[in-house]
Structure 1
């Protein structure tokens, strides 16, 4: 009992100390009494001071608390009675920020750490008598006084408990002298165990009271008028409860943020409260209706989300990790009807939109039925519709289950104008977008999973346009049908996607960048982040995709000249598109290229996108339009050219580094026309190159190209030899710079050589135009009507192909080439013969003028050539026939030969005006110095040089006799033609007969050394014959000296007679008489004493020349006019051959 006596004083002291410590205020208590038997606590004379500890802020005459022993059982504060007598509160409003004289107390209490679970309490029989409140408003300089305040509450509690209450609910006071009272509507605690406190307000302007709240609001209540017709129901039923029922009406509501920008405006809000249990927080509304609400939602870079400022400051405590971690505020919510009518949403965003996007959503209508938060509650029905002016409409009809976090229903979008939302696209798409979107789908959201079913979407009149140089994208309509999405299964399936009227303008700039890439905003750099675990891949399947009436225009400024391609009437169909690698996609594509070309592709892509099979049917594809892409490799201008293809293309290992490619079918290049740069003259052209029966394989092994037939029709080539002596064909390929040693790639393993087979090659209607600018004046020639066939050519078959080609030179001289070739073998094999007959030589006047110094007046050329190349060795024969070659006027040319060509022509030309020259050549093709053309030219020059410098050798090679035809030999001192001489003269006569244009100079000559002795003997023999004639003439006067011959048996006789008659000094005996000598000695003395003069030698030389001339004229019938006697030569000087000096020399003229 002693301890109970000291308890009041101890409690009083602790209360005063803790008040000072916790809230910094001075507290005074006059008396404090506690009855342990009745558990009552009574305090008299309560005073609480301002922070200055002098000014009284709160006082009360007495405070009475009657505690209940059930507090121990409920582990809660249970008070059976609470009375407060004559409380008085003095408030002061200090500034416009809501600071009051008690704000420091509230701040300290708010800063006190939470002790965990909230204090459970139940307080019954609450009474306040004679209370008063004074408010000094230093902001408005006004005072408010509430006096005679009376309050009665049966109980208040935050946990269910049966409570014994006798107090009736009531509230009364005088406000600035005006009376105010709320009383019970029914008899207190009748049989229903309920009593009600009526709370009826009419058009209370809440805005005028906002400024007096002791806390700062995160918004400004600019306007709000409150009307209520409520009942606060106290029930003593077990367990006891407090329920609020009735109607609440807010009108003309306007809420602004602290910057005076609007947040919410509502014309009228009506709430029909069926039940609000203040103990359990269970709320049941019959109807909640908002009329003409307007919401302003803004997201800005500076301020963020405007509504975020209303959220309480974030707590340091972590948020619950699951819904079960904390009680749900909606755990006991029921709403029978929620109606929003004629709503508006004003949305602005400059964070996700550039520039700021303004969206006005109007005619917002929401009807929610049967909303309940209980886990067992049925889903609520929801109907939502809204519009955005001319920018589109949204409708949703379905069910909503808040406890399950699920939303199911049908979503419909109507006439969504994409241009109205351009700013939202600007951060990621630098292009203007327009179009109209319509869509509908069955939507299902369950927790974090999204499901769409039967989605259909139409996007019409789409246009995406950036800068003009970037291109554009447009289509008439896009229709997507039958889309189903399941986020939990990570799958998307679509029945059909169709695009109609596609218009695509693709531009590539000078830096080879696609213009459409400029539409995409640069990706923001991302800081390194922890790699999230890989999620299962999505499964995507599109049953059918199509493009109809499409058009694509492609302009490439990266090449010169720029490329312009146009694909029109595009039709694309794909079926079976799937992310499943085992499925195959069927496709077909049709289009027109540059209006003329057409192509049709049909095939499939399958086997993990590694296999492609395409049937190709392409006609008149514009190859010429693509020429700028390979013009850097060819020094020509392609003015015209199309390609055709019809066949089957197969690709395996499509995505690997070395795919395997195959093609079977036909190819053709048609109507090609090429020019040399800067020239208007055709260079190369053909009507068609057809490759039929193509079988090609690349990638798997050695490349293989097999062609059943290659046909070249109506082709033309202009071959020009420049003034520098270089063929234009040598300039077709542009030399590529060699890689430096540092840049050169490492040597790759040698691949197998390509196998090329061409079963048959046919040429028809060819024309080769040749122009030679190397000579002046220029020379031109045409090879026309070139046609023929070439047999099988194969790099893996050593057998040569038969060749037969024919044509004409200048539409006149026939041209024929026949034989066998295999240019694909290694080394190549060629065995061909060719002929050209009747080529008019007058066309070769430019060459004759340059190299011969003469014009050609007439003549024809025929050639027969044969070439045999095998194992790198060439053996060739060129037979040239010139008919009626006639030189015209002399032309001065510094490059003309100085040789007497007229003589050479006369030597080579037969009596019928024909010249036949055979030019055999041979050599090794691997010799870098070997040139077929050079060899032919050298051989031809050698023939002409030999004709001029060694004409008799040339004639001898043609008619016999060799180089010795240049002279006729005689016995010393003789002028009689020997048998060998007449044979040589016969060969020479044959040459002169066959070369009627030749003339012969005949030069008799003697050798003084050997011919003088011969002349003596001839004189001696002549005297011996004359001596015999005298001897016989005496017997027979008819005998003539020239008819006689001297026999050897007669020689001694006549030498003796002649010796006796000679008048020179003779050997004598002792008597001085000339003695007789042996025949030999007598003959020597006769010879010694015969005198030979120069005249005698001249006569001998002349007789020799006369004899030759007479023989050629009389025996061989050579016209005397062609035979000329030249003054004799009386010495052996100038003879360089090995023949005897006793001769007759010849010269051809």
Structure 2
């Protein structure tokens, strides 16, 4: 008979549990996170842990109550609920002087700064949530930071330091879409900061956040300076897939198609996001700021102390400018006031700022002049009165800069110093009273590709510095009338006839202009460098040697004891040929002879040709010629009342190498210092 089928046994139920309460009191714990950009170790002792309603259903939230001491440097307390899978937590977090340096690997991966010291006191709501591949973090509440020290990730320069920071009304979100940072009030007390207003009217504060896939941007150096961006590679937080790396390259390649740049089906591949930043108010008290204004050229840099003031609301999505009012002192003495309005985070920056400072003692900013010029300032004052307006891409600005009695000390080595001769440039720009007075009005449109703030202002002021440093004699010629034949002369060299060291009338005229400039610019000194060009001076020297010998014979015939260097009337052809024959006869060289062995009588041209062909010219002869030319220039300037202590003959040059102008290569080169 057919047996009935046995009934199927029911499946065994999976393991399930429910725990009403879990408690750990006065225990110790150490956590190591090796998934961070750098391993992070956290030690908690003591640790108190209380969990409520923990079940095997990981999607069900359970109660959390944790408190302890972190790394022996602060306490924390966390209460709220959390679920394990997927991760989701709604927590209330309260801390007291909690050491934050352990968290730097997490934070600095999305910042252009790194934290070296900081402690946190906070009370707020923290949200954590895992949504597929996205990890969301949010915070709403207040926070106070103490003993904060932040360094520029790229340069290791100090970017920010403070004793206390109170931040109220924080609304922060990170993880999906653009980062969000909304803050009600930031109050800074007893702080130091490096603030840069760059050439487009935007603050370096905008660059605090960063994409981990990009090289860092410097927060302490102006945009465009060496090292300001991309100088240091940054490791990504995760290893890119084979498809991800080409996607980034394609996005930056010129002419890349939209399809190659990004695909809707692919995740975000490291493209920079625009952060949603909104700051309602910033107040400052007892602060010190190293401020650089690269919106004005030359850059206005100052050490500001006793800073007090406020900046109103502004943000990356707002078009309303924030009122700015700041007062302080420069170097502890000179008052400074900055007023106006600014929105540096808007898509089109708006700036309307007036700044005024009177008689700033420039010795206080020597650290900056040493860094960028290689010279400390030992004397001088600066008065600035500036106003600039940038609105809808159109700029109008007026910059009045007055520098009185600027004096530099001895040179100091600095890797960042310019190679330009700054002291020379300043000496050339000073008037007879020791003042540099420049007013620079500029205007233009930032949308015009031919318009550049830096180029316009640099052309109006810094071009003077560059021109004074690289072409000082051009300024002298323009200022003191160095012109000849209707065209401006190049006063940087004095020409000589090949082989000769006698000044021509044109050379004397150029030296007259140089002497006039030296009389007005009393700080200038002159280098005199004789030189020869063997290509022309070798034959020229032979001509000059013959001419000298003839002049000596002429003077002797007239009963003079002159050596032939004194000026004399031009010889007639008959006299010239007579003395030429005597030089020929006295010459110790092989001469054509007749059949009886007597020297043949030669026509003057043949005698001259043989004399020149048998006149030796040594390297020492050419060096003596170069020296004689330099001495001729020095002697002439001395006759024009130029102090001999301001003129220096330098080692001669024995070739034409380095001459790029159209002048003769048989010359003396002049240099100012």
TM-score, length of structure 1 as denominator length: 0.31
Greater length-normalized contact order (CA 8 Å, ≥ 6 residues apart): 2
Pick the structure with more strand per residue.
Answer: 1
Pick the structure with more helix per residue.
Answer: 2
The structure number with the bigger radius of gyration is: 1
